[in-house]
Structure 1
Amino acid sequence: DPGRGAEVVGKFATQHKTDIVFGTLFSHVVIGSAPAAGENKMPYFVVSEGHHVASTKLNRYVFQPGITDVKSQIQSMAPWIAANAGKKVTQIFPDFAFGYDHRDYLALKAQGGEVIAQIAIPPTESSFTKYFPQIPAETEVIYHVMVGPAVLTFVKELGEFYGSNRPQLFGFIDSLEATDINSPGLEFLDGSHFWEGSPRYAQANDSEAQKAYRTAVGIDDNGAAVGDPKDVSTAAHMFGCWETLYVVKKAMEDAGYKGSEDRAKLVEATEALTEFAEGPEHPQGPKTFNGKIHQCFGVQNISKVEGGKLKVVHKTKIEDGLYEAEGDYTTQAL
């Protein structure tokens, strides 16, 4: 609820007088809440992935320093999709801002591919079979990224629709985040590929920082809560919360932050950051930060479903996802 988001940001600023606001996931709520952050001069750190922050269409008080945005993610993975999955792609995505980023930024022409159909589905939808006949018969790859409470239903119904004779599948793990990929009805996913920000399953080459992070947040080698294998984590995204808090810590230290009267200093100190080394504070991997657009850039993982687990088969480079800035927040008044 974007309206509720703006109301909450306002209350944090005027009633609770917090130092910062930290949160929102859903991109349409970020967009709706951002004006309240700007009006109240409240630093607002989001972990949303949408391109809305980096587009410079929000304001100087909104940052996304702990997780990459969809535009960068797609740009860095498009060559792999065209080279390894197929050239004719049908997209299925949620019908709101996050989904529109996927719709707008998957560019395959340079790799000899094309998006032949785009199917937007309301995030509140509970059954999806009626949408699948819209998928063109010549589709070689179904690119899917669904979110919300019915994601498991979406994936199961997709499998029931195609049976064993399906196109290649390339999904964002959002479609199965917090869901056991060994759930009944998901067997057809074997051999398909997913984007992951941080891998759900422990990998043979995990860094010491990644191992320490997994221990600290209490997830096992399968990405489930230690002691409860049915409680599957949102491992692909939740590192962004961890890393963002360390960015805030670093910026507050650099600013000599004492209290809410130093919010403007905090904004400027955050904008002055340029890179985050891989390590305990940034276990997902190294990142660069563009203070003009308030957005970080990092590595992406492409994982294959094999034997009921997700195995990383390709890792992009930071430079694969870089793009030209569309504006400059630092020119705005504080």
Structure 2
Amino acid sequence: MIENNKENQESSETFNISKYPITTNAFSWSKASIILYLSLHVLSLLIPSVLILTFYKSALNEDIIDNWWRILLIFIDIMAWWGLYLLTSLLFSKLFLIILELIHRPKEGLFKLDNKNTDYYFYCLRISVKKFIFWIWNNFCFPWASNLAFKLCNMRADFKSTMFDGWSDLEFIEYGNNIMLGQGAVVLSSMIIGDHLLIRKVVIGDHVVIGANAVVSPGTIIGSGATLGVWASTHIGQILEHDWIYIGRPARKYKQSKTVYEESKKESEIGTIRRVVDTGEKVPHKVKRYVKKDVVGIAIENLELLYQKWLESEEAKNEKEARKRMKKKFKEDKRRAKNMGE
């Protein structure tokens, strides 16, 4: 058994992936998979159906005139039934997965595409359950729900990662923290090679960015902080070093992330270059960029200006009041002198 596993591993490492499609679905529907899939639907709908029948029995009985207000809450009841359906589906799906994994433990390797092969047969059964989970939660209104589905499928994934735009296999993938799957990106831990199914674990480190329509092949290890460019693809068992940008098919080193950051920072200091579409000429282009300011210093300057304006307004106010007092005193003196003359 150990020798066969070593031979399978060596053959997968030396295999020329360019001759085969790398996004072929490795899952096939057997009779048992279909029965399992339909059973999950029936069991998940069972409890909500009981509640619905109970509702109509209590709310739409002969005393409907007295219970008319209950009809107004029908929308709340519908949301409650839907939520209960989701929770019930997760409960039964997780239970089925535990039972399947206890019967036959998942493992990596190269397996014959035949339902008589127990590894391939139970792989299809597990995937049918996991497809049901993702079918349920991909129709949920919150984007982080897919991350919860990954956790239910025994895959490491945090809620800060953006993963709902891409497509991922559901076994033997370990995601790091704060990763991003671009639109249409594909992460494969299994693929079809000839008449065999290859399963190899994929490890993706923290803060990894996988560009749009990029393909990660089985056995790939991506270091933390690495970036796989748009339309790039890895070969089986490829290792991408941390803090590097990879492009092309198959993926190859382009630049270090730190170098790109320093170049972009330098360009922001000297300005940008714009290419004229008609002539192809490159001309400098000035862009108003955000400049970090001393907020405390600006606040102090503004306070000093406000204080000066306040002083000036107080002086003007005092002068105005003094003029009013002098004018009032002048009128009183004039009236007093007039009275004395009479």
Q: Decide which structure has greater helix share.
A: 2
Q: Which structure has more strand as a fraction of its residues?
A: 1
In which range does the TM-score fall when normalised by the shorter chain? under 0.3
TM-score of the superposition, structure 2-length normalised?
0.21
Greater length-normalized contact order (CA 8 Å, ≥ 6 residues apart): 1
